[in-house]
C-alpha cells in the first residue's frame, strides 16, 4: 500500500476498489491528497462578473474562469480567509462556494414563477444561487431542521439580497404530504466521501462505516418524501457530496422500483472540463475529487 492509501480508512479503500477498480481508485486517492483551490460564485443579484474581476485584479488576486458558468471563479493565489477581508465579500457580492456544489442548481435549471423546495438548505449556497438564476422571481421554500444552521441560512439569504424565500425550520422528512412543488432540490446529508482530505488527522474517527449506513437511511427517507410532494410530470435533482454507490446509485435503484419515477439524463456537455467518474446508472453524474472539484453525485428524477 502507498503512503496515501495508508492514511485512508480501510473500509473506504475497499468500497472504492470494489466499485471503481484499482486505476480509478488511485485517481480518487490523488484527489483526496490535494488541498483544493478557493472558488467563488458571483452574486448577480448585486453585481456582475466584470465588476468582480476588476475588484479582484485591483488587489492582485489572480483568478481563472470556468467554462460551464460565467458566475464561477477559481482563485489561484490567495486562500479563503484573504477573500473574506474584501468588501465584495462583506457586501454579499460574492459567495464562497465549491465548484461541485454549484452544479446541481444548473442541472435543475430553476425558472421564474416556479414553486421550488430546497430540502436541506443551510448554509444557503444553492438556495441563493437559485434566487440569482431566477433573478428573485421564483418562490423558494428553504427547509432546515437545525435552529442554529437556520440562523446562518437566514443571514446568508439577507446578505445575498435573495428574496421570495420562505425558511422552514423543520426536518424535511416530516414535511406534510399536502405540500406540492414544481421542482425540488435534494442535496442530501451524506458521508462526505467526495470531500475527504487525507491530511485530516481526525479522518479515522470522523469517517466511519456507521456514518455511511446512517446517511443511506436518511437519504432514502428524504427521496421518498420528495417524490410524494413533487408534482406529477415535474423534476427534482438528487445530489450528494459522496462518490459511493451505496449513497447514490443504490438509492436510486430502490426508488425506481416503485415505477413512480424515471431518470432524466443530465447532459454532460453542460459541464465542460468537469472530471467525471463512471456511474452505474446512465444519465447520472459523478464528479471525481481533484484540486478543483469535490467528489459529487447528481441525478435528475421525473415523477411520472
Q: At 227, give phi and psi (nearest 5°).
A: -65, -40
Grid cell locating 191: 458521508
| Residue 227 parent element (H or E) | helix 209-229
Active site residues: 241
Neighbours of 228 (CB within 10 A): 14
d(CA 83, CA 69): 20
Residue environment code for 5-29, b if the CB has 16+ CB neighbours within 10 A, otherwise e = eebbbeebbebbeebbeeeebebbb
Rounded to an integer, what distance in angstroms lies between the CA atom of residue 122 and that of residue 132? 16
Other beta carbons within 10 angstroms of residue 59's beta carbon come to: 12
First to last CA, the chain: 48
Question: What residues pair up with 174 in beta bridges, in sequence order?
Answer: none
Amino acid at each position: 500500500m502507498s503512503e496515501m492509501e495508508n492514511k485512508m480508512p480501510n473500509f473506504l479503500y475497499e468500497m472504492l476498489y470494489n466499485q471503481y477498480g484499482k486505476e480509478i481508485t488511485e485517481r480518487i486517492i490523488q484527489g483526496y491528497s490535494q488541498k483544493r483551490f478557493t472558488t467563488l460564485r458571483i452574486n448577480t443579484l448585486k453585481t456582475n462578473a466584470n465588476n468582480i474581476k476588476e475588484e479582484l485584479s485591483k488587489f492582485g488576486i489572480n483568478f481563472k474562469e470556468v467554462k460551464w458558468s460565467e458566475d464561477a471563479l477559481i482563485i489561484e493565489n490567495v486562500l479563503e480567509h484573504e477573500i473574506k477581508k474584501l468588501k465584495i465579500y462583506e457586501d454579499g457580492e460574492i459567495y464562497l462556494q465549491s465548484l461541485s456544489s454549484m452544479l446541481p442548481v444548473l442541472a435543475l435549471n430553476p425558472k421564474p414563477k416556479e414553486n421550488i423546495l430546497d430540502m436541506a438548505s443551510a448554509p444557503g449556497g444553492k438556495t441563493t444561487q437559485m434566487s440569482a438564476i431566477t433573478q428573485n422571481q421564483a418562490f423558494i421554500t428553504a427547509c432546515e431542521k437545525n435552529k442554529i444552521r437556520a440562523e446562518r441560512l437566514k443571514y446568508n439569504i439577507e446578505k445575498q439580497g435573495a428574496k421570495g424565500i420562505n425558511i422552514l425550520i423543520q426536518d424535511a422528512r416530516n414535511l406534510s404530504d399536502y405540500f406540492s412543488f414544481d421542482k425540488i432540490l435534494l442535496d442530501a446529508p451524506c458521508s462526505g466521501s467526495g470531500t475527504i482530505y487525507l491530511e485530516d488527522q481526525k479522518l479515522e474517527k470522523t469517517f466511519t462505516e456507521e456514518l455511511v449506513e446512517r446517511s443511506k437511511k436518511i437519504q432514502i427517507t428524504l427521496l421518498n418524501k420528495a417524490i410524494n410532494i413533487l408534482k406529477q410530470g415535474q423534476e427534482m435533482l438528487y445530489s450528494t457530496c459522496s462518490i459511493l454507490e451505496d449513497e447514490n446509485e443504490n438509492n436510486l435503484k430502490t426508488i425506481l422500483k416503485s415505477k413512480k419515477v424515471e431518470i432524466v439524463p443530465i447532459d454532460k456537455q453542460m459541464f465542460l472540463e468537469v472530471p467525471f467518474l463512471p456511474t452505474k446508472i446512465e444519465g447520472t453524474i459523478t464528479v471525481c475529487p481533484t484540486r478543483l472539484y469535490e467528489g459529487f453525485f447528481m441525478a435528475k428524477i421525473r415523477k411520472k
